[in-house]
Structure formats: structure tokens, C-alpha cells
Amino acid sequence: MTSVVDCPDRVVACVGRIARDAARPGVGLALDRCLEDVEALRRDHRITAEQREALRLILLGIGLHAA
């Protein structure tokens, strides 16, 4: 199975799915995992600092709406 970290496009798609389903139970765990994946992508230089920040802002905004 391909890790999300192996394919940055999958992270973006995952963020979009979470955003559409922010009220679902378990979103908090999915957000945490996505944030970890975003950090791993940045550490591996697979995304830019700007892309990392954009994804983090989206994810953290989703977290506020899901709470």
C-alpha cells in the first residue's frame, strides 16, 4: 500500500475530503494524521514551506469547525 507521504497529491485530496466531512466523528484523528503527513512531506523536501503552511492552515481551520 502506498503511504500518503509517498504521494503529495493524496495529502491534498485527503484534506479536501476531510473538509467536506468536518462534522463526522473521528475527524480529529484524521486531522492529526494529515498534519503528521504534511510535516513528513516537508522534512523530505517533497513540498515547499508555502505548501506546508497552506495545508496546515486548511487543516487547522477544519479542526476549529469540527470542534
Q: How many folded domains does the chain comprise?
A: 1
CA-CA distance, 57 to 41, in Å (whole number)?
Answer: 16
Domain that holds residue 15: 4-66
Judged against a pLDDT cut of 50, whether residue 1 lies above it is answered with no
What cell numbers appear for 55 in the block? 495545508
Handedness of CA 32, 33, 35, 36 (dihedral sign): positive
Is the overall model pTM greater than 0.85, yes or no?
Answer: no
pLDDT band at 44 (very low <50, low <70, confident <90, very high): very high
- What is the model's pLDDT at position 45? 94
Residues 6+ apart with CB under 8 A from 56: 35, 38
Q: Is the pLDDT of residue 27 over 90?
A: no
Q: Of all residues in the chain, what percent carry a pLDDT higher than 70?
A: 73
